[in-house]
Structure 1
Amino acid sequence: MYLTKEEKAKLFAKHGKAKNDTGSAEGQIALFTHRIKHLTEHLKTNRKDYNTERSLVMLVGKRRSLLDYLTKKDVLRYRAIVKELGLRK
C-alpha cells in the first residue's frame, strides 16, 4: 500500500489540529492532495487506466468542494492550507 498508518498519522499531525483529528477540512485536503499526486504518477505510466482516471477526477472534485467550504467558513484557514500545499485554483 502506498500510504502506511504512520505516514497518514504524520500527515494529519502536520495539517490537522492533532494526530487523531482525521475529520478536519485541512487534514482531509492534505490527504486528498497526497492521493491525487500518487494517482497522477500512476497515470503517467498507465495512461489507458480509465478507472484510475475517473477516481482522480472524483478526488479532485471532493478536494475542490472542501476548499470551497473552507473558503466560506474561514478564509484565513483556506489561504494557509493552499499556501502550505502549493495548490492553485
Structure 2
Amino acid sequence: MYLTKEEKEKLFKKHGKDAKDTGSAEGQIAIFTQRIEHLSKHLKTNRKDYNTERSLVMLVGKRRSLLDYLTKKDVLRYRAIVKELGLRK
C-alpha cells in the first residue's frame, strides 16, 4: 500500500483528535485527500487506466459528501480542514 500504518497515524493525529481517532470527518477527509493525490499522480502517467479513474471519481464524491456533512454540522471545522489541506472550496 502507498501509506504505512505510521503515516496514517500521523495524518489522523494531525487532523483528528488523536492517532486512534479514525472515524472523525477531518481524519477521513485527510486520508481521502492523500489517496486522491496519489491516484492523480498515477493517472498522469497511465492515461488509459479507467478503473483507477473510476476509483478516483468515487473518492472525490465521498470526500465531497463528508465536506458537505461538515458544512451542515460545524462550519468552523469545515473551514479549518479546507484551509489545512489546501482544498479550493
CA distance in 2, matches of 1:52, 1:16: 28
In structure 2, what residue type is equivalent to 1:66? L
In structure 1, what residue type is equivalent to 2:77? R
Work out whether 1:38 is the aligned partner of 2:47: no
Give secondary structure in 2 for the equivalent of 1:81. Answer: helix
CA distance in 1, matches of 2:30, 2:2: 15
CA RMSD of aligned residues (A): 0.5
Q: How does 1:1-89 map to 2 (within 5 A)?
A: 1-89=1-89
- Structure 1, unpaired ranges of 5+: none
Shift of residue 4 of structure 1? 0.4
Cα-to-partner distance string for 1:33-80 (whole Å, 9 max, x where unaligned): 000000000000000000000000000000000000000000000000
Report the number of matched residues: 89
Shift of residue 3 of structure 1? 0.5
4+ aligned runs moved over 6 Å, structure 1: none
CA distance in 2, matches of 1:17, 1:73: 17
Identity of aligned residues (%): 89
TM-score normalised according to structure 1 size: 0.99
In structure 2, what residue type is equivalent to 1:28? Q
